[in-house]
Amino acid sequence: MERGGEMPDELRHIRKCWMFLINLIYPNVCPCCGSPISWRQYLCDTCIAAITVPAETFCAGCGKPLETCLCGNDLAYDHALVVTSYEEIARKGVISLKAAESLQFGWYCGEVLGKRVLADARLRTYDCIVPVPMARRKKWKRCCNPAEVIAKELASVTRIPMWTDLLLDSGRGAVQHTLTAKQRRENVSHFSARQKDLKGYRILLCDDVLTTGSTLNRCAALLRACGAETVTVAVAASTRLRNSSDITSKNITIKMDDMHKEPISTERKRK
């Protein structure tokens, strides 16, 4: 199993040293507002305060704001962890991450999610963390996969291994944020999974933004088809649905063509 892995302590120190040295040439700024911040910080205190919301703001089942809960739509995932609402300041942070202008918003959200996982006796015993995949060509063009940035930081905090090759993206889908809700629901067939036995596995599925839930639902269904016992999604931000037509599709069919037969070890031991 290919692992993005947990970040060893020495690598965390290397990152801090790198941030210190880069700060000497390019002073560190908050990715959400552009204000100067210490080289040790990911976001400024003002933006942290602005994006910090009670966990109860979001449904623990689907991850959407309580007033637009999706739990009646037979979701393929079981639970959801959300850092903040996709509004104003958080939106700027997500955009900076997607554009690879700064990874700091992703690091911050991964750290927050990691602390929440460690605080939950059930979640901290999960078997692996899986980021929503991104096609190699698209990842090369963007310079990073935002979901993987968040997932790697989450793995670093929790010491739960990150596996980056369970799910695949063919790259044939359109960019989600350019589509309507209906088109988003139909634009997920380019995600597939390697055919493997995940029976009994409890998985944290990571992404940057939860909108209609179409992408996460598809990926969770693929993991379920491999035998995963529980799938909990962990995202940086969740949007507010504009109307009832934005709700994700109830019907998810996984075909054998969606499963790739490639033998990969599924060792569950952590480092």
The model's pLDDT over 125-178, given as tens digits with 9 standing for 90+, comes to 999 999 999 988 889 888 899 999 999 999 999 999 999 989 999 876 555 555
According to the model, what pLDDT value does residue 244 have? 44
pTM (2 decimals)? Answer: 0.82
Each residue's pLDDT tens digit, 217-227: 999 999 999 99
According to the model, what pLDDT value does residue 259 have? 60
According to the model, what pLDDT value does residue 64 have? 95
According to the model, what pLDDT value does residue 40 have? 87
d(CA 150, CA 105): 9
User: Taking phi first (over 0 means left), then psi (-120 to 50 degrees means alpha), and beta for anything else, what does residue 159 get?
Assistant: left
Each residue's pLDDT tens digit, 55-92: 899 999 999 999 889 888 789 999 999 999 999 999 99
Three-state SS letters, 215-227:
HHHHHHHHHHHCC
d(CA 160, CA 124): 8
Joined together, the tokens standing for residue 209 give 């933004």
> Is the alpha carbon torsion for 37, 47, 139, 194 positive or negative?
positive
